[in-house]
Homo-oligomer: A and B are copies of this chain.
Amino acid sequence: MKGYQLTLYTQQNRRHEGKMLADWIVGLAMDMGLRGATLVSGIEGFGHTRQFHSHHFFEMADQPMLILMALSEEECDALLQRLDEEGVPLFYVRVPAEFGMLGTPVDA
């Protein structure tokens, strides 16, 4: 299937509707019926504001978080629009991708 690999960047101390923002996004992806989302934590980094977010130099709360998703073009547009309307601060990167399942899903 053709579409996009979307990466959303946030950090551990961002919250939205009483949840960690990254968890809220994974939940939203489930609610929207998207095919998957994987949350990966970074060690350190800096974002769009020159501020250094680090795991071992500063507190844990600054830890960068990445959410990876494989989406059709329609799904990607709908998700980005929804997130933008929600007003949550996120940096996104999307790249054209081909994706699918190999082998036999064991928990299908």
A residues adjacent to B (C-beta < 8 A): 5, 7, 9, 14, 23, 26, 29-30, 35-52, 64-66, 68, 70, 80, 83-84, 86-108
What are 26 A-to-B residue pairs whose CB atoms are below 8 Å? A5-B7, A14-B106, A23-B44, A26-B44, A26-B45, A36-B46, A36-B48, A36-B91, A38-B42, A38-B45, A40-B40, A42-B68, A48-B108, A51-B107, A66-B68, A70-B93, A87-B103, A90-B103, A91-B101, A91-B102, A92-B99, A92-B100, A93-B98, A93-B99, A94-B99, A95-B96
CB-based contact A105/B49 at 8 Å: yes
Q: Which residue of B lies closest to A40 (CB)?
A: B42
Taking CB atoms, residues of chain B closer than 8 Å to A39 are 42-45, 64
Given A66-B68, A89-B106, A91-B101, 5 other A-B contacts at CB below 8 A?
A: A35-B48, A36-B91, A39-B45, A87-B104, A89-B101
